[in-house]
Amino acid sequence: MLFMILTAIIAVLVAVLALQNSMMVDLTLFMWSFRLNLVLVVLISVICGFLIAMVWGIKVKTQSLWKQRKLNEQIALLEDDKRILREKIEKMLKEQNDANPADITATPAPAVTPATPVPGPANPTAKKF
């Protein structure tokens, strides 16, 4: 919205400048020389500036869209890689579970009672009396 307001203000200022300066002027461009109304010179200059800005804007927008397209392609490739890796993980987990079905349903091994510590140099925490 602010951009449109600024553009309108600049357009009004250019129009006022052009209408207040409607005299004939001599123009020289390289080898050519001609007389032209100042209103036309100002309006042609504004139109040329507008066209240059428009071409620049199209260039920037095109580059932005091209970069966005490349990034979207990279995202798609990465998502495919992610899907493939998840499938491999699921397959490996399934193979692991299929290879060791006895381990899952087996009864737990009997508990091992710890041996009583023997005092001596092998057990530094043992107290000597």
Mean pLDDT by 10 residues, the chain (129 residues): 87 81 85 87 86 94 96 96 96 89 57 58 55
Which residues, other chains included, contact 98 with Cβ-Cβ below 8 Å and sequence gap of 6+? none
The reported pLDDT for the residue numbered 1 is 82
Distance of CA 1 to the CA centre of its chain: 26
The reported pLDDT for the residue numbered 90 is 95
Rounded CA-CA distance 38/15 in Å is 12
The reported pLDDT for the residue numbered 67 is 96
Report the Cα–Cα distance between both ends of the chain, in Å, rounded.
Answer: 92
Is 80 within a domain?
yes
Distance of CA 38 to the CA centre of its chain: 47
The reported pLDDT for the residue numbered 116 is 59
Residue 34 φ/ψ, nearest 5 degrees: -155, 165
Is 95 within a domain?
yes
Is 8 within a domain?
no
Q: Which domain holds residue 96?
A: 22-101
Rounded CA-CA distance 43/49 in Å is 10
The reported pLDDT for the residue numbered 87 is 96
Number of domains in the chain: 1
Is 120 within a domain?
no
Rounded CA-CA distance 111/94 in Å is 30
pTM above 0.85, yes or no: no
The reported pLDDT for the residue numbered 101 is 65
Which residues, other chains included, contact 25 with Cβ-Cβ below 8 Å and sequence gap of 6+? 35, 36, 37, 38, 41
Is 109 within a domain?
no
Place of tokens 């043992």: 126
The reported pLDDT for the residue numbered 66 is 96
Is 116 within a domain?
no
Is 4 within a domain?
no
